[in-house]
Amino acid sequence: MPFIEKIRNYRSLSIVGLEKNTGKTVCLNYLLNRLHDLDVTTAVTSIGVDGEQVDAVYATAKPEITLYEGMQFITAQKHYYQRRLVSRILSVDERRTSLGQLVTAEVLCSGKALLSGAATTSVLKEQINHFRTQGVQLTIVDGALSRLSLASPTVTEAMILATGAAVSPNVQQLISKTRFVYRLIDLPEVDAAVRQKLAHITSGIWAIDGDLEVHDLGIRSVFLLGRGDDDLFRFGTRLFVAGAVSDRLFKYLSNQPNIGDIELIVQDFTKFFVSPEAYADYLKRGGKLWVLQRSNLIAVCLNPTSPQGYRLNSAEVCAQLSDALGCPVYDVVAGI
């Protein structure tokens, strides 16, 4: 697949799915096999549990994760004992998870393993930085059920999005849901001067005036809107929200008489918890939208099979989805 060469330009990569069973593990196995062939030193971990043989919800068979000689991986103590490969322990994290301490190991002889890694993005960032200092060329983070947070550009440099029949058996609904997330990922990045001014802000709602001065509006969360914020635009109509944004904010802004002048800046696409309807209404009324950091989407991959047993026509859906998104869509199993 042509996106393999793009991946080699980055030091960290996340694989996230729109739903459970959209083919993240299949995609991961494809990547690990190709990276092994290309002699790219690789480390792998997960936010959640990945690589189990049987799906915990549908009781269907699932692909296991294959790791190759020379690769490093992180998994919880319980799952490290269950590995079916030969490895040596490099370190053991003192912090405990529900499955025991996190073990970092190097594969000496290829085989299968369960990955159960950090529960928080802050720990993930530590792990990625550690691998980088050890000379690892690429760290891959495999995501648990629709955990988009690990795809934040503050965590991993690039991402792969997995979608498929598990999202919806209806092709048009599948396309619609995937296109909405893709549009969030593809939102334009604000200019560098504004980005530099906002980079240190971690919470609250802020305003940027015409001289690019940043003002704290004293609102800690979008959920507090409507409580004494009548002068929300006293410094101008360019706003920055450092945390999550919801339908509440979009509906509030859409109802403002100056909606055509409003520019909303959000940290990145993982901070959106909005419905397609509220999002579309905001833009239709003239509101503008930017992100502080844009994610590098390497590829969109399709799993045409659902755990309930129905199967979509992979070639047709890949073509339709590619037309709707304006980018290639791949089925790594079919080689499309």
CATH superfamily name and code, 3-186+295-330: P-loop containing nucleotide triphosphate hydrolases (3.40.50.300)
On the CB side of 297, CA atoms within 13 Å amount to: 25
Q: What is the pTM of this model?
A: 0.88
Of the pLDDT bands very low, low, confident and very high (cuts 50, 70, 90), residue 147 is low
Q: Measured in whole angstroms, how far is the alpha carbon of residue 125 from the centre of its chain? A: 14
Give tens-digit pLDDT for 167-177.
998 999 999 99
Q: At residue 221, does pLDDT exceed 80?
A: no
pLDDT tens column, 260-273: 999 999 999 999 99
159-210 tens-digit pLDDT: 999 999 999 989 999 999 999 999 999 999 999 999 999 999 989 999 999 9
Whole-number Å distance between alpha carbons of 183 and 195: 20
Question: Which residue ranges make up each domain of the chain?
Answer: 3-186+295-330, 192-291
Structure tokens, 127: 């792990």
CB-based contacts of 322-326 (< 8 A; 24+ apart in sequence): 324/175, 324/178, 324/179, 325/178, 325/179, 325/182, 325/300
Q: Compute φ and ψ for 172, nearest 5 degrees.
A: -65, -35
Name 80's Cβ contacts closer than 8 Å, sequence gap at least 6: 103, 105
For 180, the token pair is: 């909405």
Q: Where are the alpha helices (DSSP H) in the chain?
A: 3-7, 24-37, 77-81, 121-133, 171-185, 192-198, 247-254, 276-284, 314-325
User: 76: closest CA among 49, 111, 109, 107?
Assistant: 49
Q: What token pair was written down for 310?
A: 């129905």
The 10s digit of each residue's pLDDT in 278-307 is 999 999 999 999 999 999 999 999 999 988
pLDDT of amino acid 62 = 54
Give the whole-angstrom CA distance, residue 10 versus residue 138: 7
**pLDDT (tens digit, 9 = 90+) per residue, 309-325?**
889 999 999 999 999 99
Report how far residue 26's alpha carbon sits from residue 166's, in angstroms, rounded to the nearest whole number.
14
The reply to whether 192-291 shares the fold of 3-186+295-330 is no
CATH fold of 192-291: Cytidine Deaminase; domain 2 (3.40.140)
Q: State the Cα–Cα distance between residues 35 and 43, nearest whole angstrom.
A: 11
Integer Cα distance of 180 and 60 in angstroms = 29
Written in H, E and C, the secondary structure of 30-82 is HHHHHHHHCCCCEEEEEECEECCCECCCCCCECCCEEECCCCEEEEEHHHHHC
Least confident of 76-85, 190-199, 215-224: 215-224
If one counts every other C-beta atom within 10 angstroms of the C-beta of residue 335, the result is 9
Residue 274 pLDDT > 50, yes or no? yes
Average pLDDT on 231-235 reads 88
Kindly give the pairing relationship between strand 263-266 and strand 238-241: parallel
pLDDT(232) > 90: no
**69 in Cβ contact with 107 (< 8 Å):** yes
- Grouping H, G, I as helix, E, B as strand and the rest as coil, residue 136 is coil
- Contact between 74 and 144 under an 8 Å Cβ cutoff? The reply is no
The DSSP bridge pattern shows strands 12-17 and 115-116 to be unpaired
The pLDDT tens digits for 14-65 are 999 888 888 888 999 999 999 999 999 999 998 866 544 445 444 444 568 9
- How confident is the model at residue 119, as a pLDDT? 74
Asked whether 76 and 102 are in contact (CB, 8 A), the reply is: yes
